[in-house]
Amino acid sequence: MQENNFKEALLSSGVFGITWELVPGRGAREAAQEKALAQTKQAKDGAKIHALTVTDNPGGTPAMSADFMGCEILQIGIEPLVHFTCKDKNRNQIESELYALDRAGVRNLLVMSGDYPVSGFQGRPAPVFDLDPVHTLQLITDMNRGLTYPGVKGTVHHQPGNFFPGAVVSPFKATEAELMTQYYKLKKKVAAGARFIVTQLGYDARKLHEVLLFMKQNDLDIPLMGNIYILPYGAAQKMNRNDLPGSVVTDKLLAELERERNDSDKGVSARILRAARMYAIMKGMGFAGVHIGGHNIKYEQVEEIIRKGEQLTPQWADLVRHFDYPIPGGFYYYERDPETGLNLDVPNGRQYRPLDAKIEATYGFSRLFHKFMFEPQKNLYGLMKSICRTVEGTKMEGLFHKLEHVTKAVLFDCKDCGDCALIDLAYLCPISQCPKNERNGACGGSFEGWCEVYPGKKKCVYVRAYARLKKHREEEQLEKCCVPPCNWDLHQTSSWINFYLGKDHTAKMQKENRTGEDKKGS
């Protein structure tokens, strides 16, 4: 198998990795697809791009398959970096697509939740979100090792794959809860097998430095790529309103872009210069590469950004002042360095900040019942376990299940999945409270604490969970455990019986925790 130029570039200390984002567009033989392939040929001939990234139904609307377009790009002779999202596929389809990509030789994947589906044939499609990015990275890691699963004649062993998977982090968040849940999830992604990280889009140099510093201090020793978008005023307006979730353009930056529209070239040269300065800052800071994107961008403009960015790199520290676009009142993980305009390596005093969400009375009630009913050393735990053993498989099981479900539906809007994650998420249900069913941390689309799908109406469930846990100085629980995907064999069965009799995901997690404690003790 031929060398993976993108992987080699990121893992080589002497090479600055560069990717360019292509949007396949809707259709099969339309202008958008032909343009993407023509740009692929230009990038191959120019030999400055290490991989072409291919979006997967951006904005939640249908488009040409990123997987198939990635295969065509590979045939032309340049590495694709396929955006591999979880929004439209269940775990079987995800596994199937990975087999197909492995067979085709497409190795580079950027794993993410994906934009919430908003339009499709005859109306809005049903979202899937069966696995989250942490689960998907775990699957890819297992496939790279040689996936095993039970077969008719015993355990089946697959040949190892050769994927180079990456993930995304969004440091450009307004609230403490949003930012910390991003960083907690980042740790889980790396533990699950992410081999590189790409930042979400923002124009605050201090935030770029922050995520780099956070990764170094937490021994997340994998390459970090910065996101550069050649920003026109129209796209900036959408980002400013969070119509493109996760991409941050502040009012201050939007006002500058509006002034630049009056330039003789309508602001084109200013946009290219801004992108080149970002390139220089990221390379100077110590990023491993950059991810360049933009609507209707020509290859010649990408080359100009690279050329000018390389020229500016020696003076990168002087350029930081051009990217002073903080979110008003926004939270930073580190104290500001007044000399550089970036960060000191001293974390902010989070314990003194107010909570980012209200805490309902039901949480105190839930903690009390958890203490007496769901901790093995408590007396009611043994009683409940005995009751569950007694009623399982009898006529009483149906009544027991109904009593449980009615109680949990009233208190937690329970959807009766049978594999309950309330314990893992501060007694908030990730199925009923998160449109993307995220079990291992927030997606990147929240805006000023609000859910991407219900802005201004519904707080992000992880913002709420963080506030609940922080009140008791337990917020770091959100980074410690990796919650498995929901086991749908248990759907509409008693989660209490499944919990006490060791049928749900908590039994495996408790076993792993005990094993970890034993190892620490030894």
CB–CB of 418/491 below 8 Å? yes
Q: What is the pLDDT of residue 465?
A: 97
Average pLDDT taken over every residue of the chain? 94
Residue 233 has φ and ψ, to the nearest 5°, of: -65, -40
> Over 80: is that where the pLDDT of 95 sits?
yes
**What does the pLDDT average to over 322-342?**
96
Q: How far apart are CA 229 and CA 361, in angstroms?
A: 44
> Over 60: is that where the pLDDT of 516 sits?
no
Q: At what angle do helices 461-471 and 176-192 cross, to 10 degrees?
A: 100
**What does the pLDDT average to over 260-276?**
96
> Over 50: is that where the pLDDT of 515 sits?
no
Q: Indicate the pLDDT class of residue 514, thresholds 50, 70 and 90.
A: very low
**Kind of pairing, strands 80-85 and 51-54?**
parallel
**What does the pLDDT average to over 30-46?**
95
For the segment 152-210, what is each residue's pLDDT rounded down to a tens digit?
A: 778 888 899 999 999 999 999 999 999 999 999 999 999 999 999 999 999 999 999 99
Residue 154 has φ and ψ, to the nearest 5°, of: 120, -170
Residue 472 has φ and ψ, to the nearest 5°, of: -110, 15
Strand partners, 19: 51, 291
Q: What is the pLDDT of residue 7?
A: 97
Virtual torsion, Cα 83, 167, 276, 329, nearest 10 deg = 120
Q: What is the pLDDT of residue 335?
A: 96
Q: What is the pLDDT of residue 511?
A: 58
Closest Cα to residue 224, out of 232, 233, 213, 234? 213
Q: How far apart are CA 479 and CA 132, in angstroms?
A: 15
Would you state the CATH architecture of domain 5-233+287-297?
Alpha-Beta Barrel (3.20)
With H, G, I as helix, E, B as strand and everything else as coil, classify residue 48: coil
> Over 50: is that where the pLDDT of 338 sits?
yes
Strands (E), 266-356: 289-293, 334-336, 343-347
Angle formed at CA 325 by CA 319 and CA 328, multiple of 5 degrees? 155
Q: How many CB atoms lie within 10 A of CB 293?
A: 21
For the segment 362-374, what is each residue's pLDDT rounded down to a tens digit?
A: 999 999 989 989 9
Residue 163 has φ and ψ, to the nearest 5°, of: -80, 150
Q: Indicate the pLDDT class of residue 509, thresholds 50, 70 and 90.
A: low
Residue 20 has φ and ψ, to the nearest 5°, of: -130, 130
Closest Cα to residue 79, out of 34, 115, 110? 110
For residue 284, CA distances in Å to 228, 303, 422 come to 15, 19, 44
> Over 60: is that where the pLDDT of 414 sits?
yes
Q: What is the pLDDT of residue 411?
A: 93
Q: What is the pLDDT of residue 481?
A: 82
Q: How far apart are CA 100 and CA 166, in angstroms?
A: 18
For the segment 105-130, what is each residue's pLDDT rounded down to a tens digit?
A: 999 999 999 999 999 999 999 999 99
For the segment 278-326, what is each residue's pLDDT rounded down to a tens digit?
A: 999 999 999 999 999 998 899 999 999 999 999 999 999 999 999 999 9
Q: What is the pLDDT of residue 482?
A: 92
Amino acid identity of residue 12, one-letter, is S
Segments in 105-175 forming alpha helices (H):
133-145
Q: Indicate the pLDDT class of residue 378, thresholds 50, 70 and 90.
A: confident
Q: Indicate the pLDDT class of residue 513, thresholds 50, 70 and 90.
A: low
Q: What is the pLDDT of residue 149?
A: 84
Task: Specify the pTM.
Answer: 0.94
As a whole-number percent, the residues of the chain with pLDDT over 70 amount to 97
Where do the structural domains in the chain lie, given as residue ranges? 5-233+287-297, 361-521
**What does the pLDDT average to over 243-252?**
94
DSSP 8-state secondary structure symbol assigned to residue 187? H
